[in-house]
Amino acid sequence: MSSKIWLITGVSGGIGRELAKYAAHLGHKVYGTVRKPAQVESFNALVPGKTIALIMDVNAAMAIENGVQEILTANGRIDVLVNNAGYGLFGAIEEVSMEEARKQMETNFFGALGLTKAVIPGMRVQKSGHIVQISSIAGFRGTEGLGIYNASKFALEGFSQALQKEMMHFGVHVTLVEPGPFRTEWGGSSSIRTQSVIPDYSQTAGARIRAIQAYSGTQPGDPAKAAKLIVEIVESDYPPLHLPLGEFAIDGFREKMAVVENDIKAWEDKSRDTAFG
């Protein structure tokens, strides 16, 4: 296994931090983005000499450009980009303000898009590389109370599926990692609840949000095991485009695919009969 240059966004905790630690222990050089100067020393000390912190807000185009250029100047290449930075916005669609929705899309979609666009020119020229998008089962299946978070991850999935077709000719792989509930702060301190709360949604969106918050800290998914599997995927000669992560995600994928297939079958004849002639 040859040493690679990794760039991982959002390494203050959870899967991002475990992935950085595991990849660095294997001998890879890992740049990780943090938002606060106070977090730099901790990440640099994670695996000394192999983990290097970059202060970066993925919502800031100049910070992205400067960070990527710093890595390229020091190493000449970026082999693996992991777009992990993001957060969950909780609220029924009616409860979400347009400002809250735009902030969610800025971080979860446009932040990942900006980083991806910054690294693919180098990967295209070097004819190698791997872009790992940390999506979610919520990027494949909509859930009450998570509608705008769903939208941000659906958007991430859409451009990444197109990107895979555009980059495969250059030897660049794209993988969408789609976790179910893992033991991170996603459902706890890193989540944001809408300012508006409408009582009428208490038994639908509200019930789902309460359930997510209640099991925060007891989720079945182990971030360290997720990290090991992601590294294995990156080292694979035939990495998948989709990686549903954990039993909940796998079951969720299959349930949705079954629903879609049933919808197609129920209306297939009439749908086919909509052409001219």
The catalytic site residues sit at: 135, 149, 153
Angle at 149 between CA 146 and CA 154, to 5 degrees: 115
Residue 11 token pair: 């390494």
Q: Are 151 and 105 in contact (CB under 8 A)?
A: yes
Element (H, E) at 123: helix 112-126
Sign of the C-alpha dihedral computed for residues 163, 182, 142 and 33 taken in this order: negative
Q: Among 34, 84, 71, 74, which residue's Cα sits nearest to residue 54?
A: 34
> In Å, what is the CA distance from 209 to each residue of 135, 215, 217?
19, 10, 15
